[in-house]
Structure 1
Amino acid sequence: MNLSPDIEKRYTQEQLSAKEAQRLAQEIAFAPVAFQLSRLMLKFGILQLLNEHPQGLTQPEIVSLSNRSPYAIQVLLEASLSIGTVLVQEDKFFLTKAGWFLLKDESVRVNMDFIHEVCYQGLFYMEETLEKGTPEGLKVFGNWPTIYEGLSQLPKKAQEKWFAFDHFYSDHSFKEALAIIFSEPIKKLLDVGGNTGRWAMECVSYQPEVEVTIMDLPQQLALMRKATDGKVGAERIKEFPANLLDENTAFPSGFDVIWMSQFLDCFSPEQVISILRRAARAMNSSSRLYIMESYWDRQQYETGAYCVTQISLYFSVMANGNSKMFYSQDMLSYLEEAGLEVVKIYDHLGKGHSLFVCQKREA
């Protein structure tokens, strides 16, 4: 495997003593408990109270300030001690560095909300998912073949956290990606899987001459129109309704750029190759295909790789049952099979994205 240095250091040799390894095994066994009690330490404002009182607080003081029962505070504090999010000294509790990250790191909060509202109940059905190759966890919300058909019908909280998660990771990469893509003149851009139109709006705002066409499911295009209605430049955003799982769905031609961001990870390898082949057929020698994804093996820091590989199981259990976050060498092989080649790679955009710049391979 080709791994970034920080990941290779962590993933190719044992890191723990026997005692530490035993501890980690128990942490895994109790992981759902640790997740939920930490979520409540946030929701009940206990971590915030400790952050506001660096001199520490006693248990009765936390009870009084949080307006929670002594029992609730005691079980949460004692379990948090063992997790490592709080410390105790002379009957006073203090916030640890890990507790601070739970409280202050936006990516941690976005991930936690997403797991709780979108994934938590469905993860119970992971075994069925991996046996059948279908998103068995999705049935906690409805009977759709994939989450994308049901996105507009998800419970309000789940829908809100799904979009917050999706937008958080893409939005942080947009500024750098725009500068790269528009370093050359572009008149027409095809945004494949454009979701709510956030990238399209960024494009029409960045370049007043560009016309963007979003190729997506009709129900997603309806969400896009609602999200972009009345915004400056929205008149330069066009629609191309399409079911990309249908191999007979051809890509429209005549575009300078085809853009796919956080899109191909929604499909199985066979579907990815089919989509890329159809994109290649619509390209000419001067067209460019830009693919922005988070590859676990190209993350600058191992924590990023951890997050990316865990997110893969969301795709398994909730999204579609057969896709995942990519290993970059797999993507390179898919591109080659589809008749495309990578001419440049930009790593570490935003929160860990890589941007592959592709062109049609000469016959």
Structure 2
Amino acid sequence: MYDKDPLNAMEAVTAAQWLAFAPLAFQATAVMRDRGVLAALSETGKPVGRTIEEVAQATSLSVYAARVLLEAGLGLHIVWRQEGRYFLGRLGRFLLDDEMTRVNFDFTRDVCYQAAAHLDESLMQGRPAGLKELGPWPTLYEGLSVMPEPALSSWHAFDHFYSDGAFPVMCERLAAAPPRKLLDIGCNTGKWAQMCLQRLPQLEVGLVDLQPQLHRARARLEAAGVAQRAHPHPMDLLDPLLALPRGYDLVWMSQFLDCFSEDQVVHILRKAGECLEPGGRLWVLELFWDRQRFEAAAFSLQQTSLYFSCVANGNSQMYDSSVFLGLVQRAGLEISSLTDGVGGYHTLLECRVAS
């Protein structure tokens, strides 16, 4: 879909104006959703035509506020108007009811919006210059467990929304040929580890992450009653002097390597390959923008790369698969199997040490 210019001149000039006013349009949309304007146009799930005055009364907004929001919504095709009455459009319905849209919207507003003003500085300096809008850490990962609200909740909702679709599928795949011991690199909150431990009662799981994330993962696993089969390994994977623990016959990384630069990805994959038992498996679950079925999914991942630039760490991204597969090869690994569409959006790379 990217091998030619898709816009004619009129479409291009219209799109240019949408971009020129995008920050105002984004905020207006957030207010319409959060102040009940969209809901006021949809009672019992059906579109309801209302005048500006009726919307103002239903939302406790002033007539002026309701008018400027609804007129902005006309231009954005969120609402449409007939004989002085406003109706919720299809776009407005997705903004109001679609969980993926809500998660993406909240993530952009609460985590990325203010930081995005520092994108130029971030790209020029190769560091997340916008992160200072959330906290004083060198990268987001040091502050992941202590970010202020609502950024903390919105970040985790964004991260979990996509993994939640893939994890059950992957857990069933794992159960078809279960390992004895699994090493979960970048375990984060322990959600994957919990699912695997509950599904496979003979499994032991090693947890690799920074110490604050391991504390949270441990608390989750204790609450689930499976912590006795989980073994934490706190470490900074970028430390060249530290090696991953051995004795695991499957190494797992999910939505993890996109958090690192190309050279760092190669470094981590080499470590993972070195810790594998003979005949061991390495599974990498990632989101690649060029392997999506729908343009909206590719667009979302392309824009998420800018979050890594100005918020997360300044040097990683959601990768084009051709770039990422080259990194796997540089790390001395071979891909034995590649499966797209896991959970709708993910790609599973099943790797082994190159012979």
TM-score, with normalisation over the residues of structure 2? Answer: 0.97
Partner of residue 266 from structure 2, selected from 266, 273, 290: 273
Q: Larger relative CO (CA 8 A, sep 6+): 1 or 2? A: 1
Structure 1: state its 5+ residue gaps. 1-9
Q: Which amino acid letter does the alignment assign opposite residue 162 of structure 2?
A: Y
Following TM superposition, where does structure 1 have runs of at least 4 consecutive aligned residues deviating by more than 4 angstroms? none
Deviations 1:64-112 (A, max 9, x none): 1111111110110000100110000000101111111111111110011
What is the 5 A alignment of 1:61-72? 61-72=54-65
How far, CA to CA, are the matches of 2:158 and 2:228 in structure 1? 27
Q: Which amino acid letter does the alignment assign opposite residue 50 of structure 1?
A: L
What is aligned with 2:18?
Answer: 27
What is the 5 A alignment of 1:1-363? 10-52=1-43, 54-362=47-355
Kept in 1: contact 2:139–2:311 (CA 8 A): yes
Q: Secondary structure at the match of 2:248?
A: coil
How far, CA to CA, are the matches of 1:222 and 1:185 in structure 2? 26
**Aligned-residue offset at 1:143:** 1.8
**Aligned-residue offset at 1:154:** 1.1
Kept in 2: contact 1:285–1:359 (CA 8 A): no
% identical aligned pairs: 45
**RMSD value, Cα:** 1.1
**Aligned-residue offset at 1:283:** 1.4
Q: Which amino acid letter does the alignment assign opposite residue 236 of structure 1?
A: R
Deviations 1:176-212 (A, max 9, x none): 1112222213110000000010000010011111011
Kept in 2: contact 1:285–1:360 (CA 8 A): no
**Aligned-residue offset at 1:232:** 2.6
**Aligned-residue offset at 1:330:** 1.3
How far, CA to CA, are the matches of 1:296 and 1:86 in structure 2? 30
How far, CA to CA, are the matches of 1:103 and 1:234 in structure 2? 39
Kept in 1: contact 2:42–2:48 (CA 8 A): no
Q: Secondary structure at the match of 1:153?
A: coil
Number of paired residues? 353
How far, CA to CA, are the matches of 1:286 and 1:184 in structure 2? 13
Q: Which amino acid letter does the alignment assign opposite residue 110 of structure 1?
A: V
How far, CA to CA, are the matches of 2:15 and 2:127 in structure 1? 30
**Aligned-residue offset at 1:230:** 2.3
How far, CA to CA, are the matches of 1:93 and 1:339 in structure 2? 60
Q: Which amino acid letter does the alignment assign opposite residue 277 of structure 1?
A: R
